[in-house]
Amino acid sequence: MGEPTLRRFARRVAKGAWWAVTPWRTPERVRFMRERAAADARTAETAALVAREEARVAWRRGGKPVPAPAPLDLFEDGDVVAAVGLDDGSSLFLPPLAPEAIVDVGSAARFCIDLWRRRPDLRLRFPVGLSSNRTGAFGRWLEAGGGAELKLADAAVEQVLALLESGFSDRARQAFITHPIVCAALPHGLTPAGMRDLFRWFMRCALIDSQLQAEEVWWLFLQAAEHPARELAQAYCFAPAWQQAQPEGKTVFGRVAFADWFKAEYGASGPWTDPSRWPDWQAPDTQIRIAYWARPAWREAHPLALREVGAAGGLLDWLASPAASLPDALRQWVRGLDREHTSAALASPGINIIGHFCYPSGLRVSAESIVEAVRSVGGSVSLRDVATDVKDDPRHVDFRGMETHEVTVIHTQPEPFFSDAFARANLFERTPRTYRVAYWYWEFNSIPDAWLTHAREVDEVWAATEFVAKGLRDKLPVPVRTLFPGVKLAPYERRPKRYFGLDEAPFTFLFTFHMMSVMERKNPLGLIRAFRQAFQGEEEVRLVLKTSFGDRHPDQFKALSEAAAGARITLIDQVYSPDEVLSLMDACDAYVSLHRSEGLGLTMAEAMLMGKPVIATNFSGNVDFMNADNSLLVDYELVKVGRPIPPYDADLDWAEPSIDHAASLMRRVFENQAWAREIGAHGKASAEANLSLQAAGRRIVRRLDEIRSRPLLP
């Protein structure tokens, strides 16, 4: 018996002995073993799916025609059971729901799924009924008497109409398109060509791994079955391999080639694969931009076509003429365009932005501000979301722009997602390569050495404030420019304090922060100490600390809870919508941030725009827009971090705000609320004048024009 075998035997003996003396833990162990076995089975199922796809690829590369895939009949129980491969199909089908049991969107979905599967007459009458909103034919029928025919009470009809507006399948779709293995293996999974395999994966794996409800999966597939051509178009957007193989696939210039390639690649057939039946999937100028970058001959003949209106018009004239060698149908398509409008659109400045549009954070707000800033001054944008994890908003599918412009801004931090931002955005990196810009935030005067590697992947870096820019300039080998993203309060609903579980009477200080943003830097513990020092009696005053993802940092959140215990301090640990975050800020009376360092200080800017008196540390990015006239700045000492706090090193410098000074300012704001409102009014006027989206948009577009004035990239 060899040494490794002996060690394994010894471990088994020790484990058996431990189990023997701790029998009360047997149920827990059995449950763990069952869960692990089930997880292993799901992993094996995904591996089998990939193996089947690899076999198809090998078959195709061998020059053999790919067999036609077996379609999935969602309305035939036997076929559904066979597709999923379960002996007992009872878990696949939702029990019928009585009309009177409809009480919310989820129960409305269960009712409609059963209705659709057993009523072919309704499917025939409303072929896109589940994909339309409440103003579609199915929704109008429900309101006009169809609900009564189905024995639905008015309240139940309203729930079904709400369902049609709700994006009920969004979480299921997101679980698919952000799963790197499955989406890469089955990009066509929501089309008839791949639906059978993908439905099997959802029912055997994703229901558990992505914590989905069966209703969400059924709703997604029933909607997909109503719009196979639309699903093909969306699949292209999230299949980098397709984008590489068929760069013009979503344009009138390349859709025929894409359709032929797709049918040969996957053995697909049917009316939905006929490109003559497809609507325009993108605006005309976007289609022309994509073809322009895919065709060197166009760029050689009209090198300034995407920079000057006259040159853009010349490109259109050339495309409409025999000189461009386009088929007659495409020349006619070009001739049918509004030449003036399309020329202006082609030559307008634009930017591709790859960023966190679905991750609830300050980074998302910053990226959204840049988008709105550019649009506010007539620029155009093409957007992609960088997926992070399952807690992202399920809107990844809404961000499906290609790299249609000359400049791409990668708006994500160097760690951990920068190097795989394109992969997480399901986007193939365009050829020829765009001019790349990194938009980075940092909170110190020195950056980590690891950032130098990422800087080599871009042509320049943008920073929101001079504080950030200085730290970047000192070490980066590429140009660094300060381009503030602009701040504007998004529309939000005004809500009373009681909406958030707060008493209406007390004067309320607020601080909002993200547990993922390093609690020591945000310094809520220092704020708690200042509040306790300022208010020791039974006064009508309260501090609210709004955070999120406390479960991911249990030790720190415990320390926060213990520090707040026994004081008039409320902790809110929830992921609020952007609307609710602003609504909470509006409901409170003053905003306080005793941060040790900030790259920008967005929440402070938002509070100023609301006219709230803002108390904040007189250090870092926020002092770009805060001063003694528009806010209340807290004294500080510059100190070393002192110990490694990832991603920060121990020898970095940050501020230690004065607890005494902060307490005195909070006390003064509470005691002289009329004076505090005056400070808030000054802050509001200052923020509106200096932080506007329009001003930011003009600065960004000016830089885009400078980049576009350079020689074209090869």
The answer as to whether 642 is a domain residue is: yes
Q: Is 297 exposed, middle or buried (0-12, 13-18, 19+ CB in 10 A)?
A: exposed
Residues 385 and 326 reside in one and the same domain: no
Residue 467 sits in the same domain as residue 505: no
| 460-463 β-sheet, strand order | 380-385, 350-355, 407-411, 435-439, 460-463, 480-482
> Do residues 534 and 521 lie in contact, with contact meaning Cβ atoms separated by under 8 Å?
no
The domain total for the chain is 5
696 inside domain: no
Both 363 and 342 in one domain: the answer is: no
Q: CA-CA distance, 703 to 485, in Å (whole number)?
A: 13
Task: Estimate the crossing angle of helix 309-319 against helix 284-294, to 10 degrees.
Answer: 80
pLDDT band of residue 15 (cuts 50, 70, 90) is low
Classify residue 553 as exposed, middle or buried by CB count within 10 Å of its CB (0-12, 13-18, 19+). Answer: middle
Average pLDDT, the chain: 92
Which of 347, 378, 399 terminates a domain? The answer is 347
AA identity, residue 704 = L
Q: 295 pLDDT band (50/70/90 cuts)?
A: very high
Instruction: Let me know whether 564 and 626 are in one domain.
Output: yes
Domain-embedded: residue 72: no
Q: What count of Cα atoms within 13 Å lies in the side-chain half-sphere of residue 709? A: 6
The residue ranking higher by pLDDT, 588 or 14, is 588
631 and 669 together in one domain: yes
Average pLDDT over residues 643-660: 91
Say which residue, 443 or 527, is predicted with more confidence: 527
Residue type, 516: M
DSSP string, 59-80: HHHTTPPPPPPPP--TT-HHHH
Segment 302-339, tens digit of pLDDT: 999 999 999 999 999 999 999 999 999 999 999 999 99
CATH number at residue 387: 3.40.50.11930
Residues 92 and 226 in one domain: yes
H-helix segments, 401-461: 421-424, 450-455
The CA distance from 110 to 96, in Å, is 7
Residue-range definition of the domain harbouring residue 409: 350-482
* Residue 217 and residue 342 in one domain: no
How much is the average pLDDT of 359-370? 91
Half-sphere exposure in the Cβ direction for 647 (13 Å, CA): 16
pLDDT, tens digit, for every residue of 139-177? 999 999 999 999 999 999 999 999 999 999 999 999 999
pTM: 0.85
Same domain? 233 vs 185: yes
In a domain, 255, yes or no: no
Q: Is the pLDDT of residue 66 over 70?
A: yes
Tell me whether residue 144 is in a domain. Answer: yes
Residue after which a domain boundary falls, among 320, 347, 374: 347
Identity at 186, one-letter amino acid code:
L
CATH classification of the domain holding 629: 3.40.50.2000
Q: Is 630 within a domain?
A: yes
Residue 490 placed within a domain: no
- 284 pLDDT tier (thresholds 50, 70, 90): very high
Q: Is residue 257 part of a domain?
A: no
Structure confidence at residue 4 as a pLDDT band (50, 70, 90): low
Closest to 516 in 3D by CA, of 417, 368, 647: 647
In SS3 terms, 117-148 reads as: HHCHHHHHHCCCCCCCCCCCHHHHHHHHHHHH
Residue pLDDT, tens place only, 217-242 = 999 999 999 999 999 999 999 999 99
**In terms of domains, do 578 and 560 share one?**
yes
Same domain for 332 and 357: no
Residue 5's pLDDT is what? 60
- State which amino acid sits at residue 487: V
pLDDT for residue 422 is more than 70: yes
- 106 plus 193 within the same structural domain: yes
Residues 682 and 540 in one domain: yes
**Per-residue model confidence as pLDDT tens digits over 30-46:** 566 676 877 888 899 89
pLDDT in tens, 540-566: 999 999 998 888 888 889 999 999 998
The span from the CA of 259 to the CA of 277, in Å, is 11
